[in-house]
Amino acid sequence: MIGNFTYCNPTKIYFGRDALSGLYEELPKYGKNVLLVYGGGSIKRNGIYDKVVAALKKNGKRIFEDGGVMPNPTIEKVKEGVERARAADADLILAVGGGSVCDYAKAVSVSVHCGEDIWEKYFIRFEEPDCEIVPVGCVLTMVGTGSEMNGGSVITNREQKLKIGHVFGENVFPKFSVLNPEFTFTLPRNQMISGIYDIMSHILEQYFSGTDDNTSDYISEGLLRSLIHSADIAAENPLDYEARSNIMWTATWALNTLIAKGKTTDWMVHMLGQSVGAHTDATHGMTLSAVTMPYYRYILPFGTAKFARYAVNVWGVDPAGKTELAVAREGLERMEAWMKKLGLVMNLTELGATREMLDGMVKSTLIMDGGYKVLSEEEIRAVLSASF
């Protein structure tokens, strides 16, 4: 039975090789001042920067730049971006990059006109903005987070050793997003692989919850099969347009809020991974892969039926003559083998984490209650310990 829900997603998507032409349709809708947000400068090396700037200039925009957004954007960087946006009197924030850049742009957008402490308001109290919001548009260059079509914004507070995500309401969603799979071709392999696992984890976080028969789970299984198929192709040939386009579109659907509707959803893998990220500054997708197997093996006894269904419908496990528990375990074994083949990080040591960090990581892990088992602090410690 699907629970009651309201669904709205206001983000307009331009997808494909000619997707950047969407800028010429969208830019006239906004004022003259554009804050151009990007990361470490790869968009200047691969030519995407020049294409975006050309579109902005052709539409008569005044360009104010905010570069240097890091993979795990910090609250200090957000405050810097707020000052830049205020100085520019920005009418639009245009994020060109991956999920971190999009997350950052949204955090800036809700903070420009906010008169309160933005970390406390948005990332501790999880309040919605009650001030004017500067609209955001995205040009995606790395896939994984789904940030291009949702209200999510994950920000790190290095001083407090916290990495926290706030899922804002639909008024914070990007107004439009440009998705050209070719813009992802120059990504280093490890970033591509990391993004692929972030996509998978997003789907699994929503899938491994609830015991009812609901449409969302069938959609999730299809998305997972598509992702696994395309990831295998992209791992062999990163320039395969069909595979990369399927991965890009799956990433968007994995976290545009649709498959969460009518479900409780889990998100403990992300809470564990984000805690690791706050202490190591490691790549997000790899922090997820490092904690996944210990976590799912721990909660499997509490959601055996769903794990068995996952094994059969996603990994093709033959259930004949096997117990439900055996089928469920075989599914996780196949998943683990695939992860290793893809080249994902499978333990925290590879990410630079040490046992001395364990107490801090346990304390930094937010406890969620939507999955098959609400973990205690000691259980979080056990899962993280098993992840080394």
What pLDDT does residue 41 have? 86
Q: Are 227 and 247 in contact (CB under 8 A)?
A: yes
Note the pLDDT tens digit of each residue in 240-298. 999 999 999 999 999 999 999 989 999 999 999 999 999 999 999 999 999 999 999 99
Check residue 249 and report its DSSP letter: H
Q: Are 388 and 293 in contact (CB under 8 A)?
A: no
The secondary structure of 190-249 as a DSSP string is HHHHHHHHHHHHHHHHHHSS--S--HHHHHHHHHHHHHHHHHHHHHH-TT-HHHHHHHHH
Check residue 341 and report its DSSP letter: H
Which pLDDT band holds residue 1 (cuts at 50, 70, 90)? low
Note the pLDDT tens digit of each residue in 83-122. 999 999 999 999 999 999 999 999 999 999 999 999 999 9
Per-residue pLDDT averaged across 319-332, rounded? 98
Task: Determine the Cα–Cα distance for residues 301 and 262; give it in Å rounded to an integer.
Answer: 23
Note the pLDDT tens digit of each residue in 292-322. 999 999 999 999 999 999 999 999 999 999 9
Q: Among 108, 125, 161, which residue's Cα sits nearest to residue 362?
A: 161
Block residue for tokens 């939507």: 370
Q: Among 150, 40, 131, 49, which residue's Cα sits nearest to residue 86?
A: 131
Task: Determine the Cα–Cα distance for residues 385 and 388; give it in Å rounded to an integer.
Answer: 6
> Domains, the chain, ranges and CATH?
12-183 (3.40.50.1970), 189-386 (1.20.1090.10)
Q: How many CB atoms lie within 10 A of CB 6?
A: 6
